[in-house]
Amino acid sequence: LAAAPGNGGKLQFKAIAPVPRSSDVLTVPEGYDWSPVIRWGDPLFKNSPIFDITKQSAKAQAGQFGYNNDYLNLIVDKYSGRSGVLVANHEYTNEDLMFDPEWFAANKAEAARIAMAAHGFSVVEIKRGRASARWEYVRGGERNRRITASTAFAVDGPAAGSALLKTAADPSGRKILGTLNNCSGGTTPWGTVISGEENFNQYFRGTGSATDKRYGIADAATERGWEDIDQRFSAHNKGFENESNRFGWIVEIDPQNPDSTPVKHTALGRFKHEGANIRIAADGRAVAYSGDDERFDYVYKFISKEKYRRGDRKHNLRLLSDGDLYVARFSGDSPAGQIDGAGAVPSDGEFDGTGTWLPLVLDGRSRVPGMSVEEVLVYTRLAADKVGATKMDRPEDVEPSPVSGKLYIALTNNTQRGTAGKAAVDEANPRTGNRDGHVIELTERKNDAAAIEFSWNILLVAGDPSKDASTYFAGYPKDKVSPIACPDNLAFDSKGNLWISTDGQPGTIGYCDALHKVTLTGNERGKVEQFLAVPAGAETCGPVIHDKDGSVFVSVQHPGEGGSYDKPISFFPDYVATPGKSKRGEVYGPRPSVVQVYATGKPG
Ligand code: FEO
Ligand code: CA
Ligand code: CA
Ligand code: CA
């Protein structure tokens, strides 16, 4: 790879070589080092116990950092630059890595309660001695908070109080216990964190209804078996038929106020929300973009009714409560028959075209024939099916650049694209059996987030260019890029470079999941440079790029997945065998962790 430094501010680095998938190392560029900021089980409160993998309890876990941290942000207090809050969500649990199998078999109910407590969010204060130094978390910080599968959420928006959301335990349809499978997210211009409830279907036993089928809720015992200890997790229990309708939302939490009630926003629709990210439109309305991470599902945007008011937190906290909901339709502009499914670029030189945001709810009225507003919001997938939205290759993060305003859509993969009985290729999803995914760049008309029309082009068709002729890097030479597959989470540095974390490279191109920088402008547009690789079994999540400080933060999610408690394939991040005691008396195994990567100041 070319040794030329990137243009990421102080984050100069020479791309690392891709790392073989069995490597249990967090690999960073020359001139950089890393350390964990917080790990699964680290105590958040003064009275929370020190983590001990052999002595877990639900009570202990509710006061400790949860499992499988995914979305991440470090929100620095402006007045000091040396304090702030770290916000992470905890998407899911790996019981086979968390628990000794003998103990698990004898303690299934307590294990389920521990797993419930390991879901949700952590908010934890962070501090550093001087600006640019390394961050550490503050045990007992005033803003520290755990949100779990049992925390009370308020419901707002047009479907709050709907009959579709009522249960025997909540006849109001306005108070929901817990948040589940929070995947990606975003930090709003008013300082709150929004996050998507993604694969919520797996926690519920359904009845086989048409809506259950569309959302992937099976009428079968769930893998975690939570329905055995809490009746709300099975629709067969009278009075709890609607419980699964209460998940699949965008939730908003205020990390500055540990006493605030988190909110589920029905106005943004219900699907497998990867996350949501906000841009303010030309007229001041807040626009939230969101992907539904499923093969052949859709990209959405919500436009608030009210306008953002800088500094008016109370007002801004209501912006996601009322507005219009749209879904995207992409049209290609290449001559008919040129999208061959093998990934060859068409004769007009690009996969590109125009598109329209199709309204689902507009001015408080449903625009979907035969569906009420409440039905559109609770069964949003069925509504979008009816209006002719474009079926995409698993839309994950959908994130506007704070520098250019352009929107980037990570389409992680879709091996079923163009296969028998499935949707054919189109110019926005041009590859049959799309194993490695692609990234779309979308420009709203007049660069206004509230526009109804847009133009788009494919920035990257991912893969290993040394082995796959269908790859494309915005025209940049293929022998000068890092291989990349399964783009998932997106972030930007202060210069507007795109950073992409991956989920699935080991199973496709054979390398550990990674974090890559992609130059978007100038002669090097399309240049992909690998910054780091996460250890065996892990996925790279939640990248946060503090290039002005020379730091990058990542969530290392599910290290060791594919191994087990007895046969671990990862000992990240402490590299002490399980079970085995360290000097501090803690017992380690692979632990999902938030990591800071920092420049050492020594030349690489
Ligand atoms: Fe939880 Fe779409 O990744
Ligand atoms: Ca994800
Ligand atoms: Ca074209
Ligand atoms: Ca993913």
User: In this structure, which amino acid lies at residue 97?
Assistant: L
Of ligand 1's listed atoms, the one at least distance from the Cα of 199 is 1
**Dist. CA 253–CA 265, nearest whole Å:** 11
Q: What pLDDT shows up at residue 221?
A: 98
20 C-alpha to ligand 3 centroid (Å): 36
**Amino acid, single-letter form, for residue 570:** S
3-state helix, strand, coil in the chain (%, to 5): 15, 35, 50
Helices (DSSP H) in 277-399: which residue ranges?
313-316, 373-378, 380-387
Which residue type is seen at 375?
E
Going by the DSSP 8-state scheme, the letter that residue 138 receives in this structure is -
Q: Which of helix, strand or coil describes residue 505?
A: helix
Q: Which ligand is nearest to the CA of 336?
A: 3
**What three-state secondary structure class fits 201?**
helix
Q: Which residues contact 312 (CB under 8 A, 6 or more apart)?
A: none
How far, in Å, is the centroid of ligand 2 from the Cα of 50? 29
State the closest ligand 1 atom to the C-alpha of 272, by its place in the atom list counted from 1.
2
pLDDT of residue 7: 40
Q: How far is CA 338 from CA 341, 350, 396, 416, 422, in A?
A: 9, 11, 27, 20, 19
Which residue's entry shows tokens 């597959």? 485
Q: Say which DSSP state 389 is in.
A: P
Q: Are 434 and 415 in contact (CB under 8 A)?
A: yes
Positions of E strands within 266-368:
277-280, 285-291, 295-297, 299-307, 323-332, 352-362, 365-366
**What is the atom index within ligand 1 of the atom nearest the CA of 198?**
1
Rounded to whole angstroms, how far apart are CA atoms 158 and 380? 13
Residue 564 φ/ψ, nearest 5 degrees: -145, 175
- Cα gap 206→84, rounded to integer Å: 42
Ligand 1 first shell, C-beta below 6 A: 91, 183, 198, 274, 293, 396, 488
* Ligand 1 atom having least distance to the Cα of 274: 2
Q: Distance from the CA of 397 to the center of ligand 2, in angstroms?
A: 7
Asked whether 364 and 376 are in contact (CB, 8 A), the reply is: no
Give the H or E element holding residue 75: strand 69-76
Q: Provide φ and ψ at 575, rounded to 5°.
A: 60, 40
pLDDT along the chain (604 residues), means of 10: 43 96 96 97 97 94 98 93 97 96 96 98 95 91 98 98 98 98 98 98 97 98 97 98 98 98 98 98 98 98 98 97 98 94 93 98 98 98 98 98 98 98 97 98 98 98 97 97 98 97 97 98 98 97 94 97 93 81 67 96 60
- C-alpha to C-alpha distance for 451 and 448, rounded to whole angstroms: 5
Which pLDDT score, from 0 to 100, does residue 583 have? 60
The pLDDT value recorded for residue 5 is 40
Judge if pTM exceeds 0.90: yes
Residue owning the nearest CA to atom 1 of ligand 1: 183
Is ipTM > 0.90 here? yes
How remote is the CA of residue 174 from the centroid of ligand 2, in Å? Answer: 28
Distance, CA 487 to ligand 4 centroid (Å)? 8
Nearest to 379 by CA among 325, 452, 422, 318: 325
pLDDT of residue 6: 42
Ligand 1 atom having least distance to the Cα of 91: 1
Closest ligand 1 atom to Cα of 293: 2
Q: How far apart are CA 252 and CA 351, in angstroms?
A: 35
Q: Which atom of ligand 1 is nearest to the CA of 70?
A: 1
How many angstroms separate the alpha carbon of residue 154 from the centre of ligand 2?
A: 25
Question: Separation of 184 CA from ligand 2 center, angstroms?
Answer: 6
Quote the ligand 1 centre to 388 CA distance (angstroms).
Answer: 24
Contact between 482 and 473 (Cβ < 8 Å): no
Q: How far is the CA of 523 from the centre of ligand 3 (A)?
A: 21
Task: Please provide the size of the chain in residues.
Answer: 604
Q: Which residue type occupies 513?
A: D
